[in-house]
A and B are shown apart, each in its own frame.
Chain A
C-alpha cells in the first residue's frame, strides 16, 4: 500500500512539473446512473477526490437509469462528445468489451499512465466480471452488489418456522412456502430482478453454464444454455408455486421489491443493495440469508450485479489527452484505497470491492453493530464455494436485450401461455438470434 501511495505521489509530482500545471484543472466528465440517495453519495465521493488534489476536477452528472446512461453514452460517442468516464451496469459489459476503440481498457490506461492498482486485492468475483478472458482488467469495478434473500421473521414465527434459519435448499423453501400459506400469509414469496436471480445467479451458484464459451468470456460466438434440466426444474417449480398461490410475480426488474417492506410478501429475493430500504421501511423483524440451492448441490460463489467505470474515447476519431488519462487513473487508484472502498461499502450497502476495504470496515466494528447484523452475508456468499468458469459472470453481447427476452418468456410461462420447456426453448432461440446479430455487427469493428 505504501508503494502504491508512493507511485501515485510520483505521478502527481511528474504532473506538477509538466506543462499542464499552468492551466486550470483538467476536467473529467463522469456520467453515472445512480438515483438518490446513492447518487448523492457518489457525488460526495467524487467531491472528496477533488478535494485531495488541484490538478483534476471530476464532474459527475446523473444520466438516468443504468440502461439510459448506457444509451446516452453510446449516442454521445457517436456524436463525438462521449464522457471520459461512464458508469456501466454489469449487463452492458459484453457490449463495452467489444466496443473496440470506443473504450480505453483499464489495463491500458494504467500502463500508459504508470499508475499502479493492485487488482489482487479485489474480490475475485468482482474483478473477474470486468476482466478479459486472459485476466487483464477492462473496467474499474466500482459499485457491486449480489443477490440475497430477505425474509420476514415475524411471518416465519407465525408459521411455526425457525426464524433464525432460512432454508438452505429450494426443497426446504417449498415446504416453508406451504407453511406460510397455511398460516394465512397471502403472498409467501416474490422476487425482483427475475432473470438475474432465477437464471444468472441460479446457474452460477449451482455451477452450471448459462451460455457456452464460459458464459461468453471465451468469445462472441457463445450460445445460450439455459435449456437444461436444473433450470427447467426451477422454472417449473416457480410456475407451479405461482398456480398454488405460493409465489407471486412482482414484475420486471426491481418492481417486485415493493412487496416486501410493507409485509405483503414474506420472502423476497433481490439485490443486496435493497438492505437500506428494508432498514428504513420495514416495521417487522426481518433477516437476510444466502440464496438457497437444490439438494445435492455444493453451492459455488454467487456473481455480482451493479456497475463498473469505463473509460471512453471522445468519439470515433477523437482521443484523450495524457493529462485526462492520468487524472482518470489517479481517481481509480484513489477509489481502491482501503479507507475509501470501505467507506463506500458502509455508506451505500454495496459490496466492499477489495479485501482491504472489507477489513477496513470490519476493523471499524461495522458488522457487529446491531443495525448491521447480516450485512456481511452478501460478501460471504461471494466468497463461498469453488469458483469456476460458470461463476465468473456473464459476458454476452446484447445482454440487455436478452434479459428482456428472458423476462418475456418467463412471463408467458407464468401466465400459462406456454410450458416451462417451451419458455426455455424460446429464450434460447430468441437469445441466440441476438447473439448472432451482435457477433455479426461487431465483426472487424
Chain B
C-alpha cells in the first residue's frame, strides 16, 4: 500500500526539501567533492604549489605495504568489534529481559557507557591497563603476564578492540532490549509448554525474530568500527606500536593532518568512501534477503 500526496505546484515540494538538500550538499557532497578533487593533486603543506598527478596518489597508496597492512588491521578490528559488541549486548539484553529484581537499575547502568565520549573512554581504559600505572596492567604484570601494550602490537590491538566494543555495547543493548520486548510472550509460552528448553527457545524463536534488529545493528556496528573509533585509538595507542593499531581511518588522519600529505590523504578518503558504499550495498542487497522481516 502506497500513500501518495499530490502537490499542486513544484515550488512547495522543493521548498520542503531544501533544508535537507542544503545539509546534504554542504556536509556531504561538497567535502566529498573536495576530497575527490584533492586526490588527483599533489601539493606542498602551505598550498603554494600544486600539481595535477592523475591517479598517482591512488597507485602509490595501493602499492604501499603499510596501507595494505592498515587495511588488514581494519578488517580484523572491525569484525572483532562488531561481533564482540553484538554478542555481549545480546547476552546482556537477554539476561536483563528476565524477571529479576532491580532490572531497571541494571538496564540504566548498561546504557551509561554510551554517554562517554570516545577519548574519555580511552583514558578510562588507559588507567586500567597501562602497564605501569594501570590497576589491571600492574596486576597482570604482577601475575607474571608480560603485559605491555605500548610495545606488544597484539596486546595493543586487543585493548583498542575491547575499549571500542565496550563503548558500543550500550547502543546495541538498547536495540536488543526493544527487539526482545516486541517478541510476543504467547509464542514463547507456547514453546515452553511444548517442552522447549531455554536454549532451544532462544535459538529457534528469539534469535530469528531478532534478526532484523541484529542485521541493522551489524551495519551500524561495522560503520562505527570503521569511522567512530578514531578517538579511542588516538588517545590509547596513537596507532602504534609500530603500526599495529593503525586502521584506515586513522591513517587518513595521520597522513593528512600530521604529515600534511594532502593528496595521499584525500586518495585514502576516496578509497574509504568507496569501501563503505560497497559494503552497505552488498549488505542490503544480499544479506537482507536472508533476513526475515
A interface residue numbers (CB < 8 A to B): 67, 71, 74, 77-78, 95, 98-102, 249-252, 255, 258-259, 264, 316, 398, 400-401, 404, 407-409, 411-412, 414-415, 417, 430, 434, 437, 440-445
Q: Which stretch of B78-86, B92-100, B195-203, B253-261 is in the interface?
A: B253-261
B107 in the interface (beta carbon within 8 A): no
Q: Are B46 and A400 in contact (CB under 8 A)?
A: no
- A401–B240 CB distance below 8 A: no
User: In the complex, what residue of chain A is closest to B148 when comparing beta carbons?
Assistant: A249
Chain A residues with Cβ below 8 Å from B152 are 415
Residue from B148, B151, B258 whose CB has the most chain A CB atoms within 10 Å = B151
Known: A249-B150, A400-B258, A408-B240. A264 touches B49 (CB 8 A): no
Mark contacts of B42-62 with chain A using CB atoms, 8 A cut-off: 1 yes-contact digit, 0 otherwise: 111111110000000000000
| Closest Cβ–Cβ distance, residue B263 to chain A (whole Å) | 8
**Cross-chain contact of B241 among A71, A100, A415, A443 (Cβ < 8 A):** A415
Residues of B within 8 A of A437 (CB): 261
B66 CB to nearest A CB, Å: 8
Tally of B interface residues using CB under 8 Å: 27
Question: With A404-B258, A407-B240, A437-B261 as given contacts, are A445 and B150 in contact (CB-CB < 8 Å)?
Answer: no
Within 8 A of A (CB), among B228-259: 238, 240-243, 254, 257-259
Secondary structure class of chain A's binding surface, majority of residues: helix
Of A74, A258, A407, A411, which contacts B46 at CB under 8 A?
A74
Give the distance to chain A from B238, nearest Cβ to Cβ, in Å.
7
A77, B46: Cβ atoms closer than 8 Å: yes
CB pair B260 A71 closer than 8 Å: yes
State whether A99 and B45 are in contact (beta carbons under 8 Å apart), knowing that A412-B242, A417-B242 are contacts in the complex: yes
Q: Which residues of B contact A101 (CB under 8 A)?
A: 48
CB-based contact A440/B42 at 8 Å? yes
In the complex, chain A residues whose CB is within 8 Å of the CB of B45: 74, 95, 99, 441
B123 to chain A, nearest CB (A): 14
Given contacts A407-B240, A408-B240, contact A67 B258 (CB under 8 A): yes
- Flag if B132 contacts A259 (CB, 8 Å): yes
B182-214 interface with A by 8 A CB criterion: none
* B240: contacting residue among A78, A98, A252, A264, CB under 8 A: A252
Chain B interface mostly: loop
Q: Which residues of A contact B260 (CB under 8 A)?
A: 71, 74, 95
Instruction: Say whether B71 faces chain A, with CB atoms less than 8 Å apart.
Output: no
Instruction: List, in ascending order, chain B residues with CB within 8 A of A77's CB.
Output: 46-47
Across the interface, name the chain A residue whose C-beta is closest to B260. Answer: A74
- Is B153 part of the contact surface with A, judged by Cβ < 8 Å? yes
Residues of A within 8 A of B151 (CB): 249, 411, 414-415
Contacts of B241 in A (CB 8 A): 408, 411-412, 415
B117 interface hit (Cβ, 8 Å): no
Closest 6 CB pairs of A and B: A445-B49, A411-B241, A401-B259, A102-B46, A412-B242, A441-B44
CA separation between A59 and B92, bound complex, in Å?
55
- Near A by CB (< 8 A), chain B positions 22-81 give 42-49, 66
A78 touches B47 (CB 8 A): yes
Interchain CB contact (< 8 A) of A445 among B44, B257, B258, B259:
B44
- B133 interface hit (Cβ, 8 Å): yes
Given A71, A258, A398, which contacts B133 in the complex, CB threshold below 8 Å?
Answer: A258
* With contact pairs A258-B132, A398-B259, A415-B153 given, residues A441 and B49 touching in the complex (Cβ less than 8 Å): yes
Cα of A258 to Cα of B134 in the assembled complex, Å: 13
Question: Which residues of chain B are near A255, meaning CB under 8 Å?
Answer: 150
11 CB contacts below 8 A, A to B, read A78-B46, A95-B45, A99-B45, A251-B150, A252-B240, A401-B261, A407-B240, A408-B241, A408-B242, A430-B66, A442-B44
**Closest partner residue, chain B, to A67 (CB atom):** B258
What's the nearest-Cβ distance from chain A to residue B154, in Å?
9
Name the interface residues of B250-278: CB closer than 8 Å to any CB of A.
Answer: 254, 257-261
Q: Given A398-B259, A404-B258, A411-B151, do A441 and B242 touch, yes or no (CB 8 Å)?
A: no
| A441 and B42 form a contact (CB under 8 A) | yes
Q: How far is the CA of A102 from the CA of B49 in the complex (A)?
A: 12
CB distance from B82 to the nearest CB of A (A): 27
Closest to A259 in B: B132
Does the CB pair B242–A445 fall under 8 Å?
no
Bound form: Cα–Cα A258–B260 in Å: 30
Contacts of A412 in B (CB 8 A): 241-242
A417 to B148, CA, bound (A): 15
Please, which residues of chain B bring their CB within 8 A of the CB of A74?
45-46, 260
What residues of B have a CB within 8 angstroms of the CB of A398 in the complex? 259
Within 8 Å by CB of B153, from A71, A258, A417, lies A417
